[in-house]
Every structure is written in structure tokens, then in C-alpha cells.
């Protein structure tokens, strides 16, 4: 037996779904938080970040800043310091200069 829905039921369902999805989207935005306001960066720092193709939220999960030789964690959540970049970087970010943490031990 096929169930048929009225237009009103479909709209009500869509409204409920959007209300439920809102907190999820908000938490996703928080995990990819920006650690540094681009407007506060010097011209040289902006250029360096662009040269190294730094991104706040890396799509390449195997090479995040948090596992990079140059990353130094801070006590303030997802933001830490990078030896190469002057300023805060996101633990989930990445750039083309990523280096394995094992280099630290050698």
C-alpha cells in the first residue's frame, strides 16, 4: 500500500528537518573554526600562507597540522602555533610544508 502525503505534511516535515539540522551545521562550523583573522595578518604572512597553500580545514585527513613536526599545541582547543607561520593555525588545517612528527625525535 502506497502512502500519499499532502503538501502541508511535506512542508511541515521539511520545517522540522531544518530545525533538527541547524545544531549539527553549527557544530560543524565550530570544528573548522578560524584560528587567525586574515585581516590581522601582515602582508608577508598572508603571502607565506598563500605560498604554502595553508587551509584552516584540510581535506587531506592524513596530513593535519596537529600531526605535523612544526605544530605546537596550545591549551585553547583546536588552535596551536606553527614554527613556519607567524601566528595561530588550526589543528585540523594543513599546508604543503607538512612534515611527519617522527622527524622531531631524530
In angstroms, the CA 101 to CA 10 distance is 52
One character per residue 13-52, x = contact with ligand SF4 (rule: CB under 6 A) = ---------------------------------------x
Q: Which is nearer to ligand SF4, 79 or 89 (CB)?
A: 89
Q: Which residues of 28-48 are buried (b: 16+ CB within 10 A; e: fewer)?
A: eeeeeeebbeeeebeeeeeeb
Does residue 89 interact with ligand SF4 by CB under 6 A?
yes
Q: Which of 84, 86, 87, 88 binds ligand SF4 (CB under 6 A)?
A: 84
Amino acid at each position: 500500500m502506497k502512502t500519499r502525503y499532502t503538501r502541508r505534511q511535506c512542508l511541515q516535515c521539511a520545517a522540522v528537518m531544518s530545525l533538527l539540522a541547524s545544531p549539527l551545521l553549527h557544530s560543524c562550523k565550530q570544528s573548522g573554526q578560524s584560528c587567525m583573522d586574515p585581516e590581522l595578518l601582515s602582508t608577508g604572512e598572508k603571502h607565506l600562507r598563500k605560498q604554502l597553500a595553508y587551509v584552516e580545514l584540510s581535506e587531506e585527513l592524513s596530513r593535519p597540522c596537529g600531526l605535523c613536526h612544526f605544530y605546537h599545541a596550545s591549551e585553547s582547543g583546536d588552535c596551536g602555533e606553527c614554527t613556519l607561520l607567524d601566528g595561530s593555525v588550526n589543528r585540523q588545517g594543513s599546508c604543503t610544508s607538512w612534515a611527519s612528527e617522527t622527524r622531531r625525535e631524530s
